[in-house]
């Protein structure tokens, strides 16, 4: 269980260094996404030379939104 985390970290570094703008699941501070602010949560992000360049907000149904807010 040591290879996968290392390989994922290496891919993230490569995406930043090479400005690949790839999408990764990442822990990021939310600033209104999902109706949440000033909280870190695992979300899909675009990684490039500036680090996190965008957060993709997934469409959640009512039940999923309720579970998220609990």
* Average pLDDT of every residue of the chain: 96
Examine the pLDDT at 8 and tell me if it is beyond 90. Answer: yes
Q: What is the DSSP string of 20-44?
A: --EEEEEEEEEESGGG-EEEEEEEE
Residues 43-58 have pLDDT tens digits of: 999 999 999 999 999 9
Q: What is the pLDDT of residues 11-35, one digit of tens each?
A: 999 999 999 999 999 999 999 999 9
Amino acid 1: pLDDT: 77
Burial letters for 18-54: b for 16+ Cβ neighbours within 10 Å, e otherwise? eeeeeeeebebebeebbeeeeeeeebebbbbeeebee
């Amino acid at each position: 269980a040591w290879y996968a985390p290392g390989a994922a970290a290496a891919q993230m570094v490569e995406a930043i260094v090479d400005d690949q703008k790839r999408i990764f699941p990442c822990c990021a501070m939310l600033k209104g996404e999902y109706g949440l602010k000033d909280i870190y949560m695992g979300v899909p992000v675009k990684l490039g030379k500036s680090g996190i360049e965008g957060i993709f907000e997934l469409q959640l149904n009512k039940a999923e939104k309720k579970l998220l807010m609990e």
